[in-house]
Each structure stands twice: as structure tokens, then as C-alpha cells.
């Protein structure tokens, strides 16, 4: 009544997934190997180019140092002294005018303007004219009252003469409504 314990079981081999994907997997591995080889070749080419650039840079540095040492040799200084030419009268007048402009005492004007700095005033441009001993100062003020206060401070500076407001305009499109201005004045260059 009891069942017969002699069972005959047949175990079959299952078909594993790797057996089905064997060829596509091998192709994928080979493609990845080729890709790695190509990238490696590209890296080595880049390294070779980098070494060539470094060598070229060293050559240029050597050429530059030889050129600068050759430029500082006494032979070139003698040659430079021999190339001096006489200026014509208009060229000489133009050169004198440039020398006069370079000899103008800009420091006095700049120091006078900087001594009267006000936080509410932003100076944007200074256009000096040394020939006429005048300047035009452009900037912005937070308000018209700040501009008038700045004007009164500039008028009492001893270096500056005849300082007056040339033009002003309130910027209505800006929320703080700053006042753009130009001040004209004179100074002793």
C-alpha cells in the first residue's frame, strides 16, 4: 500500500543563457578591445604631439634669449646712435608740444579732485585740456542736492578756478533717479 520508493528520475541539462549569447558576447568583447586599442593609439599620438610642442617651445625660448643678448650688445648701441636724424621745423614744433603736454602738472589737478571725494558722487570721466588750462568732469550724483554740495566744495579748492556746472540731467528711467552731470573748470597747469 505504500508507494514504491524506486523512482526513476531523468535529469536533463538545462540550456543556459550564456550558451545562447556566446557569439554576440564574443563580438562585443572584441569590439571593446578594438575601441581600447584605438583610444590608446590616440593618447600616444597626443603625447608625441605634446613632446614636439615642448621641444618647439624650448627652441623658441633659446632663440629669444639669443636675440635679446644680441640686441644688448655694444655694436647695436653704436648703430642706434648713428641713426639719429635731424627733425624738420614742423616735426620739432610737434615734438615740443608733446613734451609740454607731458610736463603739465597733472598731479595737482588730480589731487585737488581726489581731495573732494564725496560718497554720493561717482566720477566717470576727466577730460583735461592743458593748452587752455581747462577740464571737463563727467559723473553721476545720487541727487541734485548732492551735486550742488559737490560743486560748492570744488569752487573753494584753491587750485581750481571758475568751476561751474555745464549741464545736468535726471535719469528718470532709473529707480533711484541719479543726476548725470558735466562740470567745467580751470586750473593752473
pLDDT by residue (tens digit) across 69-100?
A: 766 655 555 555 566 677 788 888 888 888 87
**Is the predicted pLDDT of residue 164 greater than 90, yes or no?**
yes
**Is the predicted pLDDT of residue 8 greater than 90, yes or no?**
no
Predicted confidence band at 20 (pLDDT cuts at 50, 70, 90)?
low
CB 147 within 8 A of CB 141: yes
Per-residue pLDDT tens for 143-162?
999 999 999 999 999 889 99
Q: Which residues of 7-23 are buried (b: 16+ CB within 10 A; e: fewer)?
A: eeeeeeeeeeeeeeeee
Cell numbers representing residue 183 in the block:
562740470
At residue 25, the pLDDT reads 76
At residue 183, the pLDDT reads 95
Amino acid at each position: 500500500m505504500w508507494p514504491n520508493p524506486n523512482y526513476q528520475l531523468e535529469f536533463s541539462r538545462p540550456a543556459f543563457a550564456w550558451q545562447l549569447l556566446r557569439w554576440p558576447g564574443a563580438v562585443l568583447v572584441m569590439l571593446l578591445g578594438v575601441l581600447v586599442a584605438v583610444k590608446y593609439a590616440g593618447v600616444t599620438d597626443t603625447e608625441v604631439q605634446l613632446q614636439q610642442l615642448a621641444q618647439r617651445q624650448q627652441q623658441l625660448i633659446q632663440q629669444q634669449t639669443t636675440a635679446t643678448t644680441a640686441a644688448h650688445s655694444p655694436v647695436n648701441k653704436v648703430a642706434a646712435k648713428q641713426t639719429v636724424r635731424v627733425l624738420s621745423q614742423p616735426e620739432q614744433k610737434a615734438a615740443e608740444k608733446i613734451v609740454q603736454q607731458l610736463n603739465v602738472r597733472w598731479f595737482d589737478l588730480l589731487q585737488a579732485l581726489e581731495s573732494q571725494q564725496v560718497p554720493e558722487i561717482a566720477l566717470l570721466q576727466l577730460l583735461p585740456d592743458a593748452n587752455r588750462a581747462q577740464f571737463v568732469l563727467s559723473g553721476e550724483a545720487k541727487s541734485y542736492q548732492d551735486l550742488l554740495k559737490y560743486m560748492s566744495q570744488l569752487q573753494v579748492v584753491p587750485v581750481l578756478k571758475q568751476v561751474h556746472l555745464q549741464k545736468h540731467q535726471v535719469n528718470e528711467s532709473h529707480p533711484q533717479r541719479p543726476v548725470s552731470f558735466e562740470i567745467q573748470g580751470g586750473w593752473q597747469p
